[in-house]
Structure 1
Amino acid sequence: MTATTDEATTTDISGAGAPLAPDAPPLDPVDPAAYLRTFRGETLKNATTALVEGGAYVTTRALAQAATPHRTLYDAARWWRHVLGRRKPTWSTEHRIVWETPIARLRDFTASSVDDVVPTLVLPPQAGHDSCIVDYAPSQSQMQVIRQAGLTRAFTLDWVGATQQTKNTTIEDYVAVVDRAVDTATAGTRHTTVNLVGDCQGGWLSAIYAALHPERVNTLTLAGAPIDFHAGDTAIGASSRVTSRRFGTLPYKAMVAMGRGNMPGQFVLNGFIAMSPDAEIAKHVDLLRHLDDDAAVARYQTFEDWFKHTQDVPGAFYLWLVEHLFTGNELVEGRLHVGGRRVDLGALDCPLFLLGGATDHITPPVQVFRAADFVSTPADKVWKRTAPGGHLGLFMGNQALREEWPPIMEEVAKVSGVGDS
């Protein structure tokens, strides 16, 4: 099955941070319109190839079963049942919910630990999916990896899907939630800081919080997180820039209007699928190939339950994100203001851990690694790591959780009191 398979070779650049460059110039700009034309052409070609190969397999399978047509119908019924049958995704590791607000919950994975270590707080992705990706399965859990590194005081925020009551949620509201989570995580300990871990969109939110409150952050770990939104070539970035040049924010406002003030999670999901339709086709053909493999079917179902179960994003927050980050790239340009304060990445001098995916077409490694060019962290306190595989694999893939996250968390543990007598 393809949902959680990672292939390639890991590149470890531990300790090889970029030189201190708070005023780093932008990378050479790319023509987003030209990139989109190429991307769409490649996407169409890949989708066509996947359709042809998938159709050939289905035809071959049907011909092989021609003598027993009832078997073909039986397999088709089973296949459709798995494709269409979705369940709400669940968390895998025992934990407790400390508090809940209309926009987020705080989940505590400390399991009554009293170890005197700096608490670790995870900010999951927030892109129309459930936050349980950080505790995806019993053997695929960031939260377990964090605890196994000795960082036993482990917490994660869990983003609540938007409703009519929360459609006007702002970036300031989310920063306030993170601040409350930091207060909770450090309460009753001698520590006043946390190890902040941000995945994807949780990464840029982590960076913003850390820049506004550097005194509250012991270490900052960013995985698949767009910090320089215009670095590298991505369909999301190119599309947002081309769209904004031609129509401003009108198309995004139209989608939010269709969601009655929220960005529908289904729209976000459709966008992800449109970027890799060949992967979507191959995934379902692969299911047909493995219909009699119970373990493979279970993996398919677990992934689809998470991937296809969407939740809405607050409209006001989404439109702010499009204007100021995806289009404006204000975080690295030093023009971003939150709560009346300028967000200055140069205020950060804590140890910085950066993880990118070699084949990540949503957030290429350069967008993550550029963070090192704008913080004040010394070069020998910056760790960069390139993992095999794509975007989602960074957070729940077997290879990433076995090979990439443990050494990062072990380095975090060294500066968090783990092992101190």
Structure 2
Amino acid sequence: MTTAHAPDEAPEHDLPVAPDAPTLDPVDPAAYLRSFRGETLRKATTALTEGSAYVTTRALAQAATPHRNVWDAARWWRHVLGRRRPTWSTEHEIVWESPIARLRDFSAGATDDVVPTLVLPPQAGHDSCIVDFAPTQSQMQVIRQAGLTRAFTLDWVGATQQTKGTTVEDYVAIVDRAVDSAVAGTGHTSVNLVGDCQGGWLSAIYAALHPDRVNTLTLAGAPIDFHAGDTAIGASSRVLSRRFGTLPYRAMVAMGRGNMPGQFVLNGFIAMSPDSEIAKHVDLLRHLDDPAAIARYQTFEDWFKHTQDVPGTFYLWLVEHLFAGNELITGDLVVGGKRVDLAALDCPLFLLGGATDHITPPVQVFRAADGVSTPPEKVWRRTAPGGHLGLFMGNQALREEWPPIMTEVARFSGVTAASTA
């Protein structure tokens, strides 16, 4: 068992990711899923057995004072159920807000003559504040510390009945509007685009459609080749699409009244790694008298368990064209009537993957280098230890992996060594 600490400060199973992937023929996703389900059940059973043994032992040790067991149970339930809305950690300004996104400015009044940086956070049913998760775990702060002081991020607004028909074209237009705002009054016409997970493939699409507006492109944990490597998400989408088309996904969207419920996405993450969920809550019981551990648990759970819906039209589009069709790699993807051609990109490219990321394995990210026209000497690949969420909020990644990447980005952005000293 592990302690109740912040993501990526400890072993991989503290993160809600899939179990270790069995080595199977990647052309047989059905066989992979069968093995995956068996391994998941085995790990969940082990975690449940170990957790039950600990709870029983703890209860017996306190049998002489039964009120202590009741008190501990009440405290444990209060922490498990007491969710709050997640918050941003660093002071910043909201530049504008639309029904589907906000633009947040972390520049703090900086007027340095540097290319602005725009972050596109993940969009998978969670709050975008993952990029500014905690005072010591902030991607936005790392960007600024590299000398990229004109720093912005989009903040995806949860879908409503009014926005359930949002399309990928709408999101591309929002990115374009954010770029306009970021470069306004700077004398620059392009930005450093940073895309995390789903924000990564959207960044790649935008960059391919508007290569003149992108100075550098950084992709972290971003699926570009959705069929590379073995993942439960990729395998299940291929199996379901072959047997039923998009019907299962349409059914989920219908249950969400036209939106993909964020709770469904969360349930999927938990189902892929139930042993992590069990271990996390047993560890909470272990550390009920440790205020720092409790605070870390609450901060993560507040973010992880606070969900927001994804527009149904947008979600079904990405299932059909990216998860099932893999059209960003095949070259068949069309957005706004224009083919998305990664070869249109020749800017510096920075790629970051997680060594044990079973949501988006590194190969899915690194395949971007095969599609672009960027010369090899301007393509950087880094593999961080740890898994998916740790790439964006983990202490290790934010201390060791992101700073050198952002330092290189700064080198292409008018930042001098003196300005970062």
After superposition, give the CA deviation of every residue in 1:299-345 in whole Å (9 maximum; x if it has no partner). 00000000000000000000000000000000000000000000000
- SS of aligned partner of 2:51: helix
How far is 1:204 from its partner?
A: 0.1
- The question of whether the paired residues in 1 share the 8 Å contact of 2:132 and 2:139 is answered with yes
- The question of whether the paired residues in 2 share the 8 Å contact of 1:224 and 1:363 is answered with yes
Which of 213, 216, 228 is the aligned partner of 1:216?
213
Q: Aligned equivalents of 1:281 and 1:420: distance in 2? A: 47
Q: Aligned equivalents of 2:200 and 2:113: distance in 1? A: 26
- The question of whether the paired residues in 1 share the 8 Å contact of 2:121 and 2:153 is answered with yes
Q: Aligned equivalents of 1:78 and 1:420: distance in 2? A: 51
* 1:263 corresponds to 2:260: yes
- The question of whether the paired residues in 2 share the 8 Å contact of 1:140 and 1:396 is answered with yes
**Which residue is equivalent to 1:381?**
378
Q: Aligned equivalents of 1:293 and 1:5: distance in 2? A: 19
Structure 1 residues 343 and 281, CA gap change in structure 2 (3 angstroms) = same
**Which residue is equivalent to 1:107?**
104
How far is 1:30 from its partner?
A: 2.4
Poorly superposed stretches of 4+, deviation over 2 Å: 5-9
- SS of aligned partner of 1:390: coil
Q: Aligned equivalents of 1:420 and 1:399: distance in 2? A: 24
Corresponding letter in the other structure for 1:261: G
Corresponding letter in the other structure for 2:344: A
How far is 1:140 from its partner?
A: 0.4
For residues 6-155 of structure 1, the aligned pairs below 5 Å read: 6=9, 29-155=26-152
**Which residue is equivalent to 1:5?**
8
TM-score (norm 1): 0.94
RMSD, aligned CA: 1.2
Which of 302, 305, 314 is the aligned partner of 2:302?
305
* 1:230 corresponds to 2:227: yes
TM-score (norm 2): 0.94
Which of 195, 200, 217 is the aligned partner of 1:198?
195
Which of 142, 145, 154 is the aligned partner of 1:157?
154
**Which residue is equivalent to 2:287?**
290
**Which residue is equivalent to 2:17?**
none
- The question of whether the paired residues in 1 share the 8 Å contact of 2:26 and 2:230 is answered with no
- SS of aligned partner of 2:195: strand
How far is 1:8 from its partner?
A: 8.1
Structure 1 residues 131 and 51, CA gap change in structure 2 (3 angstroms) = same
Which of 360, 363, 368 is the aligned partner of 2:360?
363
How far is 1:108 from its partner?
A: 0.2
Number of residue pairs the alignment of both structures matches = 403
**Which residue is equivalent to 1:22?**
none
Q: Aligned equivalents of 1:315 and 1:143: distance in 2? A: 29
- SS of aligned partner of 1:198: strand
Corresponding letter in the other structure for 1:148: Q
Structure 1 residues 120 and 3, CA gap change in structure 2 (3 angstroms) = same
Q: Aligned equivalents of 1:7 and 1:183: distance in 2? A: 40
After superposition, give the CA deviation of every residue in 1:342-394 in whole Å (9 maximum; x if it has no partner). 00000011000000011111000000011011111111111100001110000
Structure 1 residues 2 and 298, CA gap change in structure 2 (3 angstroms) = closer
List alignment gaps of at least 5 residues for structure 1: 10-27
**Which residue is equivalent to 2:20?**
none
- The question of whether the paired residues in 1 share the 8 Å contact of 2:26 and 2:32 is answered with no
Q: Aligned equivalents of 2:54 and 2:372: distance in 1? A: 51
**Which residue is equivalent to 2:270?**
273
How far is 1:5 from its partner?
A: 2.9
**Which residue is equivalent to 1:17?**
none
Q: Aligned equivalents of 1:419 and 1:257: distance in 2? A: 53
**Which residue is equivalent to 1:413?**
410
- SS of aligned partner of 1:190: coil
- The question of whether the paired residues in 2 share the 8 Å contact of 1:2 and 1:286 is answered with no
Identical-pair percentage: 86
- The question of whether the paired residues in 2 share the 8 Å contact of 1:7 and 1:388 is answered with no
- The question of whether the paired residues in 1 share the 8 Å contact of 2:5 and 2:296 is answered with no
Q: Aligned equivalents of 1:141 and 1:385: distance in 2? A: 19
After superposition, give the CA deviation of every residue in 1:81-119 in whole Å (9 maximum; x if it has no partner). 000000000000000000000000000000000000000
Q: Aligned equivalents of 2:5 and 2:35: distance in 1? A: 25
After superposition, give the CA deviation of every residue in 1:255-295 in whole Å (9 maximum; x if it has no partner). 00000000000000000000000000000001000110000
Which of 235, 239, 242 is the aligned partner of 2:236?
239
- SS of aligned partner of 1:136: strand
After superposition, give the CA deviation of every residue in 1:194-237 in whole Å (9 maximum; x if it has no partner). 00000000000000000000000000000000000000000000
